[in-house]
Chains A and B, each alone.
Chain A
């Protein structure tokens, strides 16, 4: 297997296979739209797939976290780097991962059934991306995103609040709407303060892996209520909405500060709204009438 290069959110990373006997999977299909033929610029990170890799010794356990019901254990090494044990949906260990503190050089060993390995690989790449890109003004934002007239609108909310449902309403009722991503798009603010949302290989249950991007018009925090009402959030509430919606790494100071800084810059450029809503056409119409650019 040769090196493979992918560009997501304008940032390029490399999957570097060294010892891959026993690996029964390739890269998930969702990465295909993002594949580059060759390396063209600096790498965000290199993820080495090495089936003979083993942790030399375990670091200090920082905790066990349940990301979308996929438990992961995180350990801090003496040199500041991190170790991860990634468990699949069925709670089986599917990957061991070790990284330097900046998440530039990552080593991964997969195990389990083909399905579990695929899961471990995808999860490892997503974690690597989220944390290595944090220093580049980038956030992986748990949200569903629609595009309308070249603007991107991001719908946030806890699992089960109807993010996908709200996007579906826009698709159904507003001609010209396109779904960009349904779970974990990349949100990025550049040096000039312009905020862009990019499609990604991570889209939850909806297969929507688009190598497209749009300037962000608004972010909307959704909440189920027996009525429809929308208002703009003040800074503390908007900060809270974005913090609970992005992949955090509270245990790593530099990354956490970078994330707070990125959110602060996003809030300077893009309004955040709170939409209390029913899953109906009125909610979508109300929302659009207030947030559309």
Chain B
């Protein structure tokens, strides 16, 4: 999977928010606020091709969390990104 271009995390008054930019996203009107973990994973995902496994590995490495919990959280988050049209297969 890949993240769509132009969806970057902005810090607005201390709140992390994914804001769409660029002509290709002109019809995207959602504002998506993210917590620290989701922000970390989005930045990871933006590095290039990613899988749920690669994100789970990154999450386990960075945070004090079991692989099972990490996998579950990542799965839910990727589903959310997908539902909101933020990623390409």
Measured CB to CB, the residues of A under 8 A from B are: 62-63, 234-237, 239-240, 243-244, 250-251, 253, 256-257, 260, 263-264, 267-268
Contact = CB atoms under 8 A, between A and B. Distances in A.
Nearest to B19: A260
B17 A236 contact: yes
Contacts of A268: 13
Interface stretch (B20-28, B44-52, B53-61, B70-78): B20-28
B12 A250 contact: no
14 contacts: A234-B15, A235-B15, A235-B33, A236-B17, A236-B31, A237-B31, A239-B19, A250-B22, A250-B25, A251-B23, A253-B22, A263-B12, A267-B12, A268-B13
Contact of B12 (A251, A253, A260): A260
A62 B23 contact: yes
A240 B12 CA distance: 11
A239 B31 contact: yes
A227 to B, nearest CB: 26
A63 B12 contact: no
The 5 closest A-B pairs by CB, nearest first: A251-B23, A235-B15, A236-B33, A264-B12, A240-B31
A235 B12 contact: yes
Interface of B: 10-15, 17, 19-23, 25-26, 29, 31-33
Nearest to B32: A236
B23 A250 contact: yes
A267 B13 contact: yes
Candidate in A237, A243, A250, A267 with the most chain B CB atoms within 10 angstroms? A250
Contacts of B17: 235-236, 239
Contacts of A257: 21
B46 to A, nearest CB: 16
Nearest to A256: B21
A213 to B, nearest CB: 24
Given A235-B15, A239-B17, A260-B10, A251 B33 contact: no
A239 B25 CA distance: 17
A253 B21 contact: yes
With most chain A CB atoms within 10 A of its CB, the pick from B10, B12, B14, B33 is B12
B13 A235 contact: yes
Given A235-B33, A236-B33, A243-B31, A264 B13 contact: yes
Given A235-B33, A236-B33, A260-B10, A250 B21 contact: yes
Contacts of A256: 21
Contacts of B20: 250
Contacts of B22: 250-251, 253
A248 B73 CA distance: 35
A117 B26 CA distance: 29
B82 to A, nearest CB: 20
A260 B32 CA distance: 14
B87 to A, nearest CB: 20
A250 B33 CA distance: 19
